[in-house]
Chains A and B, each alone.
Chain A
Amino acid sequence: MADLKLDQIRKSYGAVDVLHGIDLDVKDGEFVVFVGPSGCGKSTLLRIIAGLEEITGGDLMIDGEVVNTKSPRDRGIAMVFQSYALYPHMTVYKNMAFGLKLDKQDKAAIDARVREAARILQLDQLLDRRPSELSGGQRQRVAIGRAIVRQPKVFLFDEPLSNLDAALRVQTRIEIAKLHQDLKSTIIYVTHDQVEAMTLADKIVVMNGGNVEQVGSPMQLYHHPETRFVAGFIGSPAMNFTKVTIDAVEEGKVTVAIPGGIKSVLPFDVPSAAVGQQVELGIRPEHLALGDVGELTVSGVVDVVEKLGDSTYLYLNLANGDRVTVRAPGHSRVKMGDTVTASAPAGAAHLFNGEGKAFTKVDCPAEFSADDI
């Protein structure tokens, strides 16, 4: 069990800077998920924590001790690879026991640990098989088992579920969540998958181009994204953005001119110097409802209709060329080519300045706030 602290971690490959000073605190027992677009440095950061990659600058601390130059084994971590990386010439049992044998622990203790891990992961029946005789999901469980038996301070997972099919992914995801509840260990988990990140994480770290964009609980990131990047990255389908002009500023209120001539008053703290500037307005598809019921209204021609059963996604083309996604009820009868109006309450809006930083929302309604979750 361990705290983890990253202090200005930098990494370069020759002249290429991959990580530009990452700061992060991970508390004991926390489930932290790294998300971000491909190539943003998630795996690199994980491998640095594992000790598989040298640190170019900064300090990595586990339990308050700087471990920059320590080997993976001395850091007390265990890593589960995307490719499973099972030893093909060993049985499941040996795969799990291999790392333990080396600690010269007594045979019975090793056996007990392996069998316990096998029981947790329902691998009891498979202990004598080789990896080539297992299904993808079973292999993944063996890989997790190999990590469990070592009783590490920190578990590291690099996209562990991305080789599994959809159904198995959901099932294994739930197993990992249960595992975390049982073991109460610190877990760092890299994924591409939004749902995995939202469902598993105590804390999500959104990365972009070698920097941390924002760290927070899933609901914080969803409701209070600090940057336009995070707003666009978290949530599926992605948040709608449109350029608006600031018309007037009052204490805790801002009037913006939405393309098409409509003006709306939104509850944001905006400096008065911003009047006349172009900013970006964001609204999530699920906060838009058909009809003219909220303060923020858009209308456009339906371009594509996606029926998912429980809901229907409508893709509208606005007059100014922007595209807006609206989540309509599953029984919606809207067809391609229809002109529809959708609206959202002012409290659902997000406003970002020219650099993509969010303006502070005031008096956020409970349904759009993560304060009590």
Chain B
Amino acid sequence: MSFSNIRREDASRAVIVHAILLTYTLVALYPIFLVVINAFKTRKGIFKDPMGLPNADTFSLEGFTKVLAKSDFELFFYNSFSVTIITIVIVLLLAAMAAWALSEYKFPGNTVLALYLAIGIMVPIRLGSVSILNLIVDLGLINTLTALVMVYVAQGLPLAIFILTEFMHQIPKDLKEAARCDGVGEFKIFFAIILPLIRPAVATVAVFTMIPIWNDLWFPLILAPGDGKQTITLGVQQFIGQYVTDWNAVLASLSLAIIPILVLYLIFSRQLIRGLTSGAVK
């Protein structure tokens, strides 16, 4: 086989791969695109031509004005944001420390504990909704954001620990031992060497943790549905009625809800640079 043949084969494979990925991207992005364009249309415009771009006739900001003026959108927003951020911070800190313990220290029950934590990935936390509700009521935390944070931390930890443990295994043993010889304490090793080195993994975990929380409707609905504690996804529901749905408002608030998660994603994805460990060991 000549070289040009190989190259042609490579090229055609690349075309196929790109075609598949492009199709997938379109399928995934199109609904979001629809939400955003329809948020800028009049009610009539939405129903007449749901797929069309807003034009001079149909363009309107009525959805946005309604959302911002008639509802506590800022409050919902604040609730969602604080729940998500606080959860991410707690999950990352606890998961990283647990992963460090599981990957670095040999102690009896190490494997069992790792397995136990991994089971959490497979069992959906919603199966325990009833007991969680009971527990939260008993704790007197119903209708608080604290309840949501606690549940989300429990939901996010297993996968986070699993991913971070794998990454920590990959950090060369020599690096930690060099630090120990340098007289560095275990906490300092963790915060000054291990965490910076697994930054890409931490960012990945942050994204994985944040999206389901931001989008969740279930737990806000059963644990914190009260006034003043609603998250965005729950708050939007007030525009969806049994008989009439205010599509302008729904689509506008959904469009607005995309922004913060997009910003967070951009922040974390900048950390997803590879090759951070190059040069550590030969």
Q: Which positions in A face B, CB cutoff 8 Å?
A: 47, 50-52, 71-73, 77-79, 81-89, 98-99, 102-103, 130-134, 136, 139, 146, 150, 163
Set A72, A87, A130, A136: member contacting B282, Cβ < 8 A:
A136
> Are the CB atoms of B183 and A81 closer together than 8 Å?
no
Q: Which A residues are CB-close (under 8 A) to B175?
A: 85, 87
User: Which residues on A sit within 8 Å (CB–CB) of B177?
Assistant: 47, 50, 52, 79, 81, 85
CB distance from A94 to the nearest CB of B (A): 10
Query: Could you tell me if B180 and A88 are in contact, using CB atoms closer than 8 angstroms?
Result: no
With a cutoff of 8 Å between Cβ atoms, the chain A residues found around residue B197 in the complex are 88-89
A86 CA / B184 CA spacing, docked (Å) = 14
What's the Cα separation between A84 and B282 when bound, in Å? 7
Q: Which of A52, A81, A133 contacts B279 (CB 8 A)?
A: A133
| Contact status A77-B276, CB under 8 Å | no
B188 in the interface (beta carbon within 8 A) = yes
Q: How far is the CA of A77 from the CA of B175 in the complex (A)?
A: 16
Chain A residues with CB under 8 A of B4: none
**CB within 8 Å of A: which residues of B?**
172, 174-175, 177-185, 188, 192-193, 196-197, 275-282
Q: How far is the CA of A71 from the CA of B175 in the complex (A)?
A: 17
Separation of A99 and B279 alpha carbons in the complex (Å): 19
Complex Cα distance, B99 from A84, in Å, reads: 25
B196 touches A99 (CB 8 A): no
Query: Smallest CB–CB gap between B276 and chain A, Å?
Result: 7
B188 / chain A contacts, CB cutoff of 8 Å: 102
Q: Which residues of B contact A47 (CB under 8 A)?
A: 177
A310 to chain B minimum Cβ distance, whole angstroms, is 32
Give 4 closest A-B pairs by Cβ, nearest first: A132-B279, A73-B183, A99-B182, A131-B279
A81 touches B174 (CB 8 A): yes
B181–A52 contact, CB under 8 A?
yes
CB of B183 within 8 A of CB of A88, answer no
Q: In the complex the two chains form, is A103's CB within 8 Å of B282's CB?
A: no
- List, in ascending order, chain A residues with CB within 8 A of B282's CB: 83-84, 136, 139, 163
Whether A81 contacts B178 in the complex (CB less than 8 A), given A73-B183, A87-B193, A103-B183, comes out as: yes
CA distance A131 to B279 in the complex (A): 5
A–B Cβ pairs within 8 angstroms, 7 of them: A50-B181, A72-B183, A73-B183, A77-B181, A81-B178, A86-B279, A88-B276
